[in-house]
Amino acid sequence: MPFVELTIRIPQALADEAKVFDLLRDERLSETAKAVSEAASEKYGSLSDDEVMGLVNEEIKMMRAEERAKETLAKTDEA
pTM: 0.53
CA atoms within 13 A on the CB side of 18: 14
From the list 11, 24, 21, the residue with the least C-alpha distance to 64 is: 11
Structure confidence at residue 6 as a pLDDT band (50, 70, 90): low
The larger pLDDT score, comparing residue 5 to residue 71, is at 71
Q: Per-residue confidence at 4, pLDDT binned at 50, 70, 90? A: low
